[in-house]
Structure 1
Amino acid sequence: MEWIVTLISELSQLGGVSGDESRVADYIEEKIRDFADDCRRDRLGNLIAFRKGTDSSKKLMLCAHMDEVGLLVSYITDEGLLRFQPVGGIDPRVITGRRVLVGEKQVPGVIGTKAIHIQTPEERKQAPGFDRLYIDIGATSREDAQKAVSLGDCAVFDSDFVTFGDGCIKAKALDNRVGCAVLMESMRMRPHYDTYYVFSVGEEVGLRGAYTSSYDIEPDFAVAIDSTTTADYAGVDERDQGLKLGGGCALFLMESTTYYFKDTLKKVRRIAQENGVRYQMKQIMVGGLDAGGIQRTASGVETASVATPCRYLHSPSCMMKISDILETEKLVAALCQSADLMKRRS
């Protein structure tokens, strides 16, 4: 347990906004090189590792995306303030006043907006949207700001990794550095089938890496490993909570990008039960995973997803329980070792 928590801590502190995942890929490649029979990167930047299994009659693909949501500098004002666009699904209400790090130099900044005492009555009625927010890096002019940052630089949340409460962790980018850590851990054991371990790019902006890598690999079966939202707190009706922290890993009936076929889900649930995995079914059919890109590849790929429940997803303070992460890890390991995974009917 300590090893994977340390791994998640290190992964979560790396910057890797969609389209700028190379630092995460470099870190992962260094860690997994000794376990892989082959390791390469494709044109988009997907990191693809391979391990030969005991059975080479079928190909298994495991996929976890490396990218995180973030901000893209799109304009610099005369005063040296940075206007930006969101990369991925970010709620503007949760980022005002947050610290960020901008560009390769990791220039510190703060997300600001007009102070409330000078807002108009109409402005006070609603939280500021992205058009009313900016990043303040302490520059005094556009020229001053341009010495430190450039248009197109990405900004990530500056948020420490913290363990707290009853086995909880808090950090940025737990979506999906936790999935990356689980995938890395699964490489320690020899899989049953020849297995491709894909650390994908661009999931937060349209599952881009999942599409291209699955076309390349043409797997017989694929498992997307990700994080998924939960809202198990006060003021939310139980039917709208989706999942509960501490309830185990999550399986899906469907979500915004994928319909999971009954035979596949039945098979995955049976393998989970046989291996003593605690899991829960997600009850809210929103959000998208890399599975949506993989399933539609070529003539179609049998696809499943395993996710770790997360509060405050896509925010500077994602929150998970270590026990749920360990259940995700246990199920992914069981799927890797299962000879039954490729059976058409269960």
Structure 2
Amino acid sequence: MNDLIKKLVEAYGPSGFEDHMRDLIRPEVEPYVDEMSVDALGNLITLKKGDGSGLKVMIAAHMDEIGVMVTHITKEGFLRFTNIGGVRPHGLWGSRVQFANGVIGMIGSDRIDDRSKIHPLSKHYIDVGATSAEDCPVGVGDAAGFVQPFFTNGKLLTSKTMDDRIGCVVAIEALKRLETTPHDVYFVFSVQEEVGTRGAEAAANGIDPDVGIALDVTITGDVPECPPMSVSLGKGAAIKVKDSGMIAHAGLVRLMRQRAEAANIAHQMEVLDGGSTDARSIQ
């Protein structure tokens, strides 16, 4: 499974530019589904048909990642940029980004004399090795994703875009193992989650599911100086009860707990103060 994880987490796919991710996922799931389509927004929607006696179930995992988009090219060839999703300036300096055409750039920032301050995004730039605007290999409106290799440390995995390529892997593996079901199960690999769960909203409007489940990541409460939280790394899947965008259906939460306990699956209950997932748009 690590080979599939590596392939997906290292792939390019900022919000709005998920085509490559969709092309990687499609052959993984096509042999196991009864129907597959791509909607107008770019969601990859697959259907495993039931026997007609069950419900319509939508399971969503988003393909997109946070990134940056070029807003201006200076006469010296440096790229000014804006964010795609939740990009925070305090960790950008020295980061590598890659554009769809394969060009890699390094993020720098304007001179700062007060080291106690953090430059806003507008004071950062990308250096792609160009010497002028004319010889710059990318243009205004081009998007880039971050570059970070996948590696393992025992049972721990580290990479960019675990949010939410790991959810895509879980969906793919679940789909492969789902042999029969009374339900019509829609596995949706959604777009533009990082900029407002837009893809899941469009997909849910089209599918009109009876049950919706989002597969995504969360933060933990077991790192230094973090907000108190009952979720810890390595102690099982987190079953969300509430976040800033939705309150989970109590019956569905109860069912998940019961099934996890019956199968001896380690699990934790999650209440997240900030942030949300595709679940809010499905709901």
What's the TM-score once normalised by structure 1's chain length? Answer: 0.78
**8 A contact 1:258–1:291 mirrored in 2:** yes
Distance 1:205 1:235 in 2: 28
What is the one-letter code of the residue matched to 2:256?
V
Does residue 92 of structure 1 match 2:89? yes
Distance 1:131 1:45 in 2: 30
Shift of residue 191 of structure 1?
A: 4.5
Shift of residue 277 of structure 1?
A: 1.2
- The residue aligned with 2:237 is 249
Residue among 148, 152, 174 paired with 2:162 = 174
Shift of residue 232 of structure 1?
A: 1.8
Distance 2:180 2:211 in 1: 13
Distance 2:251 2:39 in 1: 32
Shift of residue 57 of structure 1?
A: 3.3
Residue identity over aligned pairs, in percent, reads: 37
**8 A contact 1:229–1:242 mirrored in 2:** no
Matches within 5 A, 1:260-339: 260-295=248-283
**8 A contact 2:243–2:271 mirrored in 1:** no
Bigger proportion of residues as helix: 1
Does residue 105 of structure 1 match 2:101? yes
Distance 1:233 1:286 in 2: 17
- The residue aligned with 2:211 is 221
Q: Describe the SS at the equivalent of 1:289.
A: coil
The runs of 5 or more residues in structure 2 that have no matched partner are: none
Aligned length: 281
- The residue aligned with 2:146 is 157
Shift of residue 231 of structure 1?
A: 4.3
What is the one-letter code of the residue matched to 2:125?
Y
Shift of residue 242 of structure 1?
A: 4.8
**8 A contact 2:167–2:216 mirrored in 1:** yes
What is the one-letter code of the residue matched to 1:133?
H
Shift of residue 265 of structure 1?
A: 1.3
**8 A contact 2:220–2:229 mirrored in 1:** yes
Distance 1:84 1:48 in 2: 32
Distance 2:224 2:7 in 1: 32
- Deviations for 1:195-247, whole angstroms, at most 9, x for unmatched residues? 1110000100111111110111111111110111224222336xx24521101
Shift of residue 75 of structure 1?
A: 0.7
Distance 2:125 2:193 in 1: 25
**8 A contact 1:68–1:173 mirrored in 2:** yes
Does residue 133 of structure 1 match 2:124? yes
What's the TM-score once normalised by structure 2's chain length? Answer: 0.95
